[in-house]
Structure 1
Amino acid sequence: MRNYSLNDFDAVIAIGKAGSFRAAALDLGMSTSALSNAIARLERQLGVRLFNRTTRSVSLTDAGRRFVGQVTPALKDIHEALDTVRSEQQVPSGTLRINTFATAGREVMAPLILTLLRRYPEIRIDLVTEGRLVDIVADGFDFGIRSAGLVPADMIAIPLGPPRRHAVVASPGYLDGRDRPATPADLPDHACVRTRLPNGAMFRWHFAKDGEDFHIDVDGPITLDEASLARIAVLDAMGIGYFMESDVRGDIAAGRLVRLLEDWTPALAPLCLYYPNRRNPPAAARALIDLARRNAKA
């Protein structure tokens, strides 16, 4: 009897879903060449081609589609059985894959991710940050972290902290000799550091007060697509910036940045750690869930 690897079967499903070896390799945390070699080895063992490959696309053959259709339910049962065994581990171990967006990743890094790793050195974390909202089950993640309003209804969600806020800030150097904006309507008279969303659209600044809720487009000398770059520009007196409060709280406290229009930035929904309902989560997953729940009560 030939020796087959569950990882190779998982790889076939990942490639079929992603439609490319490169995308599947990223999802699986391996190199494209290693993934290609694994599939070639499996095809030799099976004696059948599972994929049609061209320089531009990859698609399942008829045999590949039948293989995926039959093996997927079996793999799900096997992985659930493995989870049941792992749930009985005395020491949590293994890799947890978490999907979130960059700002949330920065917010939860110290209180959740790094704390977990220090308590359980045998756990490994694979944290993926991206702007788009993904199906964490279909994309092979154990957990997601998003704003409460973006958590799918069929997921279990744990709030990770208090409501969050945006912060409008500028450096003392930029404000020197200028009138500070008293309302958002004053922003067109100022240079602003603009940011672009992952889908290419310009980010519009959100304000609310006394029942009035609106978004505005701002203008300025520079457009960026990452909050850490925008912070550098604002610190260097390039203009007014709009950030998550957590990204600039230290700068405000140290006097490097001055907060503006604070009464126009309302509270936002808290972040949530979310995951599918599983009867016997692995010990590592249970450790993360328990830590998140303790943090929520603190």
Structure 2
Amino acid sequence: MVRPSLNDLAAFAAVANHQSFRRASDIMGISRSALSHTIIGLEAKLNVRLFNRTTRSVSLTQAGARLLARLDPVLQDLDQALDTLSEERGTPSGPLRINANKSGASILLADVVPRFLELYPDVELDLVSEGRLVDIVEQGFDAGIRLLETVPKDMVAVKFGGDVRFIAVAAPSYLHGKERPQTPDDLYAHRCVRQRLPSGKRYRWEFSRRGSEVAIDVPGNLTLDDNDLLVRAAADGRGIAYVPEYFARPYLVSGQLLTVLEDWCPRGPGLALYYPRSRHVPSPLRAFIDLLREVDSTR
């Protein structure tokens, strides 16, 4: 048997952990054909089939599962050893992949990312912004950023950015001549700009006051899937929108939008950076968390 290289084994672990040649090739920065060729070569060297492949899926054989169980701890130990060398040089280096929702990414780009890149020029920060909640381990991310209440229970969460508040807003031109809603039920008499969630479901607007909670499937003839677009549509007089205050603030300051149902829109738990509890925390992520906490303490 020809002894496989470390690159061969790392490629195998990437495909096995993500159960996808596409995801593994994206994370490793190589083409799918090159990755496939590496795996075929590895199986030839070991004289054993490691994966069951179809046109739609890839799964481990029994031999592949046994190899992964032994290999994963070894590769994690190697990553930790290399990370220790980085620490001894005095500065973190290497890739840092963070998956964030759009509001989280916007806050980081304004307050944290510029300072982080200045302090740690040897770190390659890959900040992916998307609406859907993903499995950060399966997708190859070091950390994720979402609302604290949506962070999986088996993750370590680092809260930042303060509490978040969703508010109902509308343009003065839309409200002119209309009776402003006083309770969430009054929205049924208005035109609203509705929101489509990444899951495909339409978002039910959630309000609370003095312990009373209400979820409303509001009426409206326009549905959007992006907070910036929702705010712009409301500012253009298309109806009432329900968005994080962060996105509406510039329009409120300029007078292009006004709030409605003010006392039905309390603050709630804000954003959090989260990462796997059971895995080694690489030095770039530790440095990012330290800076995030430092910046957050000065807000």
TM-score higher than 0.5 here?
yes
* More moved, 32-41 vs 103-112: 32-41
Shift in alpha-carbon separation, 1:278–1:256, aligned structure 2, 3 A? same
Shift of 1:90: 1.8
Paired residues, number: 297
Q: In the alignment, does 2:218 pair up with 1:221?
A: no
Of 30-39 and 273-282, more deviation after overlay is shown by 273-282
Specify the alignment match of 1:245 in structure 2. 245
Indicate whether 1:11 and 2:11 are aligned.
Answer: yes
Q: Matched residues in 2 for 1:118 and 1:38: separation?
A: 37
Tell me how far apart the structure 2 counterparts of residues 27 and 279 of structure 1 sit (CA, whole Å): 18
Amino acid at match of 1:245: E
Deviation at 1:236, TM superposition (A): 2.3
Q: Give 3-state SS (helix, strand or coil) of 1:185's partner.
A: helix
CA separation of 1:212 and 1:186: change in aligned 2, threshold 3 A? same
Structure 1 pair 30–244 and aligned structure 2 pair: CA distance change class (3 A): farther
Distance of 2:271 and 2:89 partners within structure 1: 29
* Alignment map for 1:125-136 (pairs within 5 Å): 125-136=125-136
Instruction: Give the CA deviation at 1:15.
Output: 2.2
Q: Structure 1 pair 20/137, CA: closer, same or farther in 2 (3 Å)?
A: closer
**Corresponding residue for residue 273 of structure 2:** 273
- Percentage of pairs with the same residue: 46
Normalized against structure 2, the TM-score is what? 0.87
1:162 is aligned to: 162
Aligned position for 1:259: 259
**1:171 Cα deviation after fit:** 2.0
Partner of residue 56, structure 1? 56
Give unmatched runs, 5+ long, in structure 2: none
Q: Aligned in 2, Cα 1:287/1:124: closer, same or farther, shift over 3 Å?
A: same
Report how far residue 241 of structure 1 moved. Answer: 0.7
1:47 offset after TM fit, Å? 4.2
Which whole-Å CA distance do the structure 1 matches of 2:225 and 2:34 have between them? 32
> Which structure 1 residue ranges, 5 or more long, are not aligned?
none
C-alpha change, 1:84 and 1:223, in structure 2 (3 Å) is same
Distance 1:153 1:289 in 2: 19
Separation of aligned partners in 2, 1:279 and 1:132: 23
Cα 1:233/1:36, change in 2 over 3 Å: farther
1:69 corresponding residue in structure 2: 69
Question: What does 1:1-298 correspond to in 2, within 5 Å?
Answer: 4-6=5-7, 8-276=8-276, 281-298=281-298
CA distance in 1 between partners of 2:40 and 2:69 (Å):
20
Distance 1:21 1:279, change over 3 A: closer
Residues in 2 aligned to 1:280 and 1:15: alpha-carbon distance in whole angstroms: 20
- Contact residue 165 and residue 266 of structure 1 kept, 8 A: yes
CA separation in 2, counterparts of 1:276 and 1:84? 19
**1:89 touches 1:283 (CA, 8 Å); kept in 2?**
no
TM-score (normalizing by structure 1): 0.87
Does the aligned pair in 1 maintain the 2:4–2:42 contact within 8 Å?
Answer: no
